[in-house]
Amino acid sequence: MSNCRDPTRGLEWKVADAIAYQQNAGAFRSGITTDEAMAYYSQYCHQYEESLRPGRYNGPRIAADAVARYYPRDREQKKIIDIAAGTGFVAENLTVQGFRHIDALEPSTSMLVRAKEKGLYETLYENMLTEEHLPIAADTYDCAVVCGGFGEGHIPCSGLKELLRITKPGGVICNVMREEYLVNVEEYRECLEPLMNSLEKAGKWTLVSRDVVPNYFIDLPGIVFMYKVN
Ligand SMILES: C[S@@+](CC[C@H](N)C(=O)[O-])C[C@H]1O[C@@H](n2cnc3c(N)ncnc32)[C@H](O)[C@@H]1O
């Protein structure tokens, strides 16, 4: 396959990777509103799984591996919610790891339709994670996992509050995202990690691990945050 050069990154990528990068960039473009992101996903859903296939987009495997490392035993008894579930990539990977009770939360109807078809989720919530109260009881889940849900126009910093509310004390919140978004996304720069740190200082949760991982998306690094809820 021929190569092309992305002038903004100075890296050589295969053409197919460059196309996938551009398609994904449309969902996370600077200044995108939530409504615009939802409209984008209603089209993107048709190419999403081929474009973001494993090997190119490794976030879902990275997320499931992190959750599986945290729960080496009794995985079939753990109740997990996959936040920003998209088409269900994370559930596919969690199922391989032996998890059996997985719910989904995903605001895009088109993405959720594909997730539902896979038959891997018990309950599917067509909701957006924001500061708004979700239709989910407090302390429901052993684990809330988010993969690729934090980015421009996606989950706001204020969504952390609901993640904490729906996860049981002693449970874990796993957030896997593109590392550069911590600083490139204006809303997160001053807010996301500082808020995570202040929630820890306030005793709401305790950091288990913070790992930068290679090849999260193509050759771009991701970051995996694991917090235990207090
Ligand atoms: C890049 S996709 C990731 C999907 C899936 N987790 C994966 O790794 O393939 C981002 C998803 O976040 C969803 N999303 C956007 N804003 C959201 C919000 N505020 N709360 C929950 N999900 C959101 C989008 O609809 C989209 O399906």
Residue 172, domain CATH: 3.40.50.150
- Has residue 182 been placed in a domain? yes
Residue 126 Cα to ligand 1 midpoint, Å, equals 11
Q: 155: how many CB neighbours lie within 10 A of its CB?
A: 26
- Residue 127 CA: distances (Å) to CA of 55, 71, 141: 29, 27, 17
| Residue 98 lies in domain | 59-229
Contact 202, 171 (CB under 8 A): no
> How far is 47 from 203, CA to CA, in rounded Å?
42
- Has residue 100 been placed in a domain? yes
Residue 2 Cα to ligand 1 midpoint, Å, equals 31
- Dihedral sign (CA 71, 216, 123, 51): negative
Ligand 1 and 171: CB distance under 6 A? no
- Has residue 4 been placed in a domain? no
Residue 58 tokens read as 């490794």
Ligand 1 and 108: CB distance under 6 A? yes
> How far is 71 from 126, CA to CA, in rounded Å?
27
Based on the structure, what is the number of domains in the chain? 1
- Has residue 7 been placed in a domain? no
Give the percent of the chain with pLDDT over 90.
Answer: 93
- Rounded to the nearest 5°, which phi and psi values hold at 15? -55, -45
Ligand 1 and 28: CB distance under 6 A? no
Ligand 1 and 37: CB distance under 6 A? yes
> How far is 146 from 123, CA to CA, in rounded Å?
16
Ligand 1 and 167: CB distance under 6 A? no
Ligand 1 and 106: CB distance under 6 A? yes
Of the candidates 196, 202, 204, the residue with the CA atom closest to the CA atom of residue 225: 196
- Has residue 225 been placed in a domain? yes
Helices then strands, each counted (H, E), the chain = 10, 9
Residues in the chain: 230
Report the Cα 104 to chain-centroid distance in Å: 12
Dihedral, 160, 68, 104, 129 alpha carbons, nearest 10: 10
Ligand 1 and 222: CB distance under 6 A? no
Residue 34 tokens read as 């939530």
**What are the pLDDT digits (tens) for 39-64?**
999 999 999 999 999 999 999 999 99
> How far is 230 from 217, CA to CA, in rounded Å?
32
CA atoms within 13 A on the CB side of 46: 4
Q: Which atom of ligand 1 is nearest to the CA of 149?
A: 12
Per-position pLDDT tens, the chain of length 230: 334 445 555 555 688 899 999 999 999 999 999 999 999 999 999 999 999 999 999 999 999 999 999 999 999 999 999 999 999 999 999 999 999 999 999 999 999 999 999 999 999 999 999 999 999 999 999 999 999 999 999 999 999 999 999 999 999 999 999 999 999 999 999 999 999 999 999 999 999 999 999 999 999 999 999 999 99
- Dihedral sign (CA 113, 118, 124, 130): negative
